[in-house]
């Protein structure tokens, strides 16, 4: 009993120290260094919505094994990594986060037992049993098809590629797999995560996750491979059949000229993105190295037509829209029996430049840890905010997500003009 009381006194001392620390942050001007640990501590104590995250993970108001047996992993300020943390309540979770003040934390699977007790169990009795199905779309995988930025940089223009990927993946998960509970979260720097919380998704074993993510991997192959989409060739001059999911995303009439006033819906989201984002905005085929890849993707049996395109494009600058219209013209002029091969090649090109590029390793295993929504990205200071699908296209990764410093300033401002609110986070915009 004395030990328990001792521990609780210790806790009270810690709480007092934390309160004093937060008061210091409020009294002094906020430190504008996003990595200032005092800002982060104040953010955890006052803004991060632990209770909402708990309800989302737990899927119930009363605490269940979904939360109690859930693994959390903390990256501490000194880069130490603590795995297999677990908590009985959200209050306990919040208290531990505030005590450790990690630079970030991640969410793992639900295990057969509490992760913090794993050392007392036989290995065979401790294994992951459920976990949200998660997806990671990262700008790293888009370098070869964007022209505005490269490496670690991104802007609103290349972010549209991520938005297109999110739109298509959302449609696939809802319409082809029947999932309903999807949460899209800005990853804090260069991408987006999707968490699928339907019970059927959470229960998927690793083999099923691998199969599912394999099904969404339409774009494959490394940097040295020009053709990254190969969905089969037409046989004996007949059009090939595409899976209805791909047909829905791609639409029809791939031979329609870019300036055509044909109903844009018949083109599907990917063809529209190809014309608007890749051709018009990114001008993806302007440089010779990039248009030579386009030529390699045209039907190999049409070498004369491809050679004519090469001569024309090498003679002087033509925009990507003009080049694509040149390709369409070559396809339309081709012999009737060659038409299905042209259509297949052009559809594969549109898919190669627009279909979601998913970091498959994140999705394949139940026990892959993923950064929690609402944590701060250590290198940008930005909060990993959830986004509605409709918001993603207009989201600006440079300014759209608040920084921890901004949120704390908004709270300080709200305190100067007090209103009755239920939680501190509601005072932030
Ligand atoms: Zn960019």
Residue 25, pLDDT score: 53
Last residue of a domain, one of 354, 384, 405: 354
Residue 118, pLDDT score: 94
Residue 257 CA to ligand 1 center (angstroms) comes to 27
Indicate whether 239 belongs to any domain.
no
**For the chain, first and last CA: distance in Å?**
46
Residue 345, pLDDT score: 96
Indicate whether 225 belongs to any domain.
no
CATH number, domain at 371? 3.90.920.10
Residue 170 CA to ligand 1 center (angstroms) comes to 23
Same structural domain, 252 and 375: no
Indicate whether 257 belongs to any domain.
yes
Task: Decide if 75 contacts 105 (C-beta within 8 A).
Answer: yes
pTM, 2 dp: 0.88
Burial state string for 121-131 with b = 16 or more CB within 10 A and e = fewer than 16: eeeeebebebb
Residue 148 CA to ligand 1 center (angstroms) comes to 4
How far is CA 93 from each of CA 72, 108, 200, 422, rounded to the nearest angstrom?
9, 14, 27, 20
Same structural domain, 363 and 267: no
Indicate whether 97 belongs to any domain.
yes
Same structural domain, 293 and 365: no
Tell how strand 81-85 and strand 133-138 pair up. Answer: unpaired
Residue 160 CA to ligand 1 center (angstroms) comes to 9
How far is CA 211 from each of CA 198, 217, 364, 396, rounded to the nearest angstrom?
18, 10, 8, 33
Number of domains in the chain: 2
**Spatial strand order in the sheet of 386-387:** 133-138, 191-196, 182-186, 386-387
Same structural domain, 183 and 89: yes
Same structural domain, 68 and 141: yes
Same structural domain, 119 and 262: no
Same structural domain, 404 and 273: no
Last residue of a domain, one of 354, 386, 407: 354
Indicate whether 10 belongs to any domain.
yes
Indicate whether 222 belongs to any domain.
no
Residue 7, pLDDT score: 42
Same structural domain, 61 and 168: yes
Indicate whether 372 belongs to any domain.
yes
Indicate whether 224 belongs to any domain.
no
Residue 149 CA to ligand 1 center (angstroms) comes to 4
Same structural domain, 305 and 396: no
Residue 403 CA to ligand 1 center (angstroms) comes to 21
The H-assigned helical ranges of 260-302 are: 268-273, 288-296
Last residue of a domain, one of 354, 384, 409: 354
Closest among 293, 295, 292, 294 to 303, alpha carbons compared: 295
Mean pLDDT in consecutive groups of 10 residues from the start of the chain, 429 residues: 41 54 53 76 95 96 94 96 97 98 97 95 92 95 92 92 97 96 95 97 97 92 84 77 91 83 74 95 96 96 96 96 97 92 95 95 95 93 95 92 90 72 57
Residue 140 CA to ligand 1 center (angstroms) comes to 12
Dist. CA 47–CA 408, nearest whole Å? 8
Same structural domain, 340 and 390: no
Instruction: Give the helix/strand (H/E) hosting 193.
Output: strand 191-196
Residue 282, pLDDT score: 97
Same structural domain, 64 and 113: yes
- Enclosing domain of residue 260: 244-354
Residue 145 CA to ligand 1 center (angstroms) comes to 11
Same structural domain, 335 and 362: no
Question: Which residues are tagged catalytic?
Answer: 71, 136, 138
């Amino acid at each position: 009993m004395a030990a328990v009381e001792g521990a609780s006194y210790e806790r009270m001392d810690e709480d007092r120290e934390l309160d004093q620390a937060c008061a210091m942050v409020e009294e002094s001007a906020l430190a504008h260094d996003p990595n200032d640990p005092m800002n982060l501590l104040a953010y955890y104590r006052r803004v991060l919505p632990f209770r909402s995250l708990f309800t989302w993970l737990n899927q119930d108001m009363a605490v269940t094994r979904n939360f109690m047996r859930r693994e959390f992993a903390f990256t501490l300020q000194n880069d130490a990594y603590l795995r297999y943390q677990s908590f009985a309540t959200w209050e306990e979770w919040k208290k531990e986060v505030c005590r450790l003040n990690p630079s970030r934390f991640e969410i793992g699977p639900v295990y057969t037992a509490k992760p913090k007790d794993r050392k007392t169990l036989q290995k065979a009795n401790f294994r992951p049993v459920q976990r949200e199905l998660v997806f990671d779309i990262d700008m790293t995988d888009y370098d070869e098809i964007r022209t505005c930025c490269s490496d670690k940089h991104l802007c609103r223009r290349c972010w549209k590629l991520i938005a297109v990927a999110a739109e298509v993946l959302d449609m696939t998960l809802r319409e082809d797999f029947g999932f309903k509970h999807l949460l899209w979260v800005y990853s804090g720097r260069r991408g987006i995560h999707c968490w699928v919380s339907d019970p059927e998704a959470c229960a998927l074993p690793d083999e099923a996750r691998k199969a599912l993510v394999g099904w969404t991997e339409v774009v494959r192959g490394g940097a040295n491979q020009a053709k990254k989409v190969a969905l089969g060739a037409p046989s004996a001059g007949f059009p090939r059949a595409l899976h209805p999911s791909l047909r829905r995303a791609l639409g029809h009439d791939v031979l329609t000229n870019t300036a055509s006033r044909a109903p844009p819906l018949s083109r599907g989201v990917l063809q529209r993105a190809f014309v608007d984002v890749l051709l018009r905005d990114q001008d993806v085929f302007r440089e010779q190295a990039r248009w030579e890849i386009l030529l390699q993707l045209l039907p190999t049996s049409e070498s004369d037509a491809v050679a004519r395109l090469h001569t024309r494009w090498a003679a002087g600058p033509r925009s990507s829209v003009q080049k694509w219209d040149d390709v369409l013209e070559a396809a339309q002029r081709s012999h009737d029996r060659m038409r299905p091969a042209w259509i297949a090649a052009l559809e594969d090109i549109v898919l190669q430049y627009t279909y979601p590029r998913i970091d498959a390793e994140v999705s394949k295993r139940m026990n892959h840890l993923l950064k929690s929504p609402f944590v701060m990205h250590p290198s940008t200071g930005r909060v990993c905010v959830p986004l509605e699908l409709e918001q993603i296209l207009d989201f600006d990764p440079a300014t759209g997500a608040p920084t921890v410093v901004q949120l704390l300033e908004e709270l300080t401002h709200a305190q100067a003009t007090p209103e009755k609110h239920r939680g501190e986070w509601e005072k932030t915009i």
